[in-house]
Amino acid sequence: MARRKLAIALLSIEGTNCDDELRAALANLGARPEIVHLKQFEGRDVAREDRRRLADYQLLFVPGGFSAGDYVRAGAIFGARVRASIGPDLEEFVRGGSIVGGICNGFQVLTEIGLLPGRPGGRLGPPEAALMTNDSGHYECRPTFVAWEGGRFPALQDTPRGTRFLFPSGHAEGKLVLGGDAAARRSELLRDGQILFRWVAPDGGPATYPWNPNGSEGNIAGLTNPEGNVFGLMPHPERYFFRAQAPDWTREGACEGFGDGHRFLDAILTYAEQHA
C-alpha cells in the first residue's frame, strides 16, 4: 500500500545506530522516512538545502543506539540537545496530535525530556521516570516478548488486549524506575491506559529474567503519554520486521514474509494515514 504522503523524520545524532534499520522497515511499508540529524532541524553547520522543519513531517521517531556514547546516562545528552534546540517545535508537534515514537535509546530520550510518562498537553519538563541499569549489571541482547496492555495507544485499538509480539532487545539501561511512590504511579499509569507493553514469557505468562531483561517493576516494557500519541518501548520492532530476522527461521525452514515488527509498525502507519 503506497503511503507517499506520510513523511517520517528519524532523528539522529552522533552514536545513533538503528536509524537505517528503521528507515528500511518504514520504507518497505510505503512511507517516506528520512534520517534527519538534529543539526538539520537547528539549521546549524549544514547547507541551506539540507535544513529541515519538524512541521513538514507527519511522524517523528527517535531510534535506538548509543547517542553521545551514553555518557552521563543513556539518552541524557541527546535529550538535553533536543530540549535546547527544538523544544518548542516538538511541543507544538505533540500538541497537534502527531505521533512521536522512541525505540530503546529513543525511549530513554523521551523520558529524559519529560514527554514520557508525560504531562497533559505535550509539555516538556523534568524527568518523571528514568531507565536505569539492568538488574543483571550488563548489556542484554536476545529475543524477548511483550504483550499489548490494551491502553490508550490508538494504533492498536483494534488489537485484542494481551496480544503478544516478539521484539528483540538490546540495551544495558532499560529498567523503568518511576519517581515518587512508584507503586501508586504504576497504578495511575495502568488506570490511565499509559502502559503500552509488558514483558511476558514465551507462553504469554508473567516474565522473569531473562524474559524481563532489565528487572523493570511491573514488567513494564513501554509507555505512552496521556493522549496516546507519544510512545516509547525498550525492545526493537525493526529487528523482527522480516521473517528472516527471527531466531528460529533456520529451524522452521521459513524465511519469507514478515515478523511482528511489521505488524506493529504497519498499525502505526495505518492509523497515521487515516488521521493525516
The answer to whether 262 is a known catalytic residue is no
Give the whole-angstrom CA distance, residue 54 versus residue 88. 11
CB 230, CB 115: distance < 8 Å = yes
Among the listed residues 21, 140, 149, 236, the single catalytic one is 236
The answer to whether 255 is a known catalytic residue is no
The answer to whether 171 is a known catalytic residue is no
Among the listed residues 18, 21, 37, 104, the single catalytic one is 104
Q: Name the nearest CA neighbour of 172 among 201, 198, 211, 141.
A: 141
Among the listed residues 21, 140, 173, 238, the single catalytic one is 238
Name the residues annotated as catalytic. 104, 236, 238
